[in-house]
Amino acid sequence: MTYRKFVSLCVASAFVVASPVAAQDTAKKRENVSYHVLEFVKYKEGKGERAWEIVTKYFDPASVASKTPLPEEYHVQFGDWDDVLVWPMKGGAEIEWQYSPDDVAWFAELHKLTGSKEASDKLLEEWNGLIANRKRSIAHRHLPKK
């Protein structure tokens, strides 16, 4: 056995031993939790105000009209991000959708608000141009016991 294979085997073994799954004898699903998409956004210098205009004039009204969830918005006072947006995942941590039914409904309303799909595309291109950096994560939250 080569040194490289030996080290690889040792590393893999460490994960198996340390893995919480290895300690379980049955599968267990999380209970009493909700899942959320978190988006962390850093705007380009001086572009936050325009971003806010787009959100209040187009994005929020598209959510209301399509009956899709508005995100919780957190405006960060200190740190690496300007905004943290949190959307609930209605069906739990289902991530198989490329475009969910909510996405389709939201975009349809955005097209109405802007006048066309082309105008929506242009607005979204502008929106993306305002952003210096963004990251997305999925998280779960333990709900209060009933």
Integer-rounded Cα radius of gyration of the chain: 21
Contacting residues for 15 by C-beta, under 8 A, at least 6 apart: none
pLDDT interval class at 92 (50, 70, 90): confident
Question: What is the per-residue pLDDT for 7?
Answer: 40
Tell me the per-residue pLDDT of 64-79, one tens digit each, with 9 for 90 and over: 999 999 999 999 999 9
pLDDT of 48 over the 90 cut: yes
How far apart (Å, rounded) are the C-alpha atoms in residues 81 and 137? 14
| H or E element at residue 120 | helix 117-129
The answer to whether the predicted template modeling score (pTM) of the entire model surpasses 0.85 is: no
Percent of the chain clearing pLDDT 90 (strictly above): 68
pLDDT of 13 over the 70 cut: no
Mean pLDDT, the chain, integer: 87
Rounded to an integer, what is the distance from CA 35 to the centroid of its chain?
Answer: 10
Tell me the per-residue pLDDT of 95-132, one tens digit each, with 9 for 90 and over: 788 888 999 999 999 999 999 999 999 999 999 999 99
Percent of the chain clearing pLDDT 70 (strictly above): 83
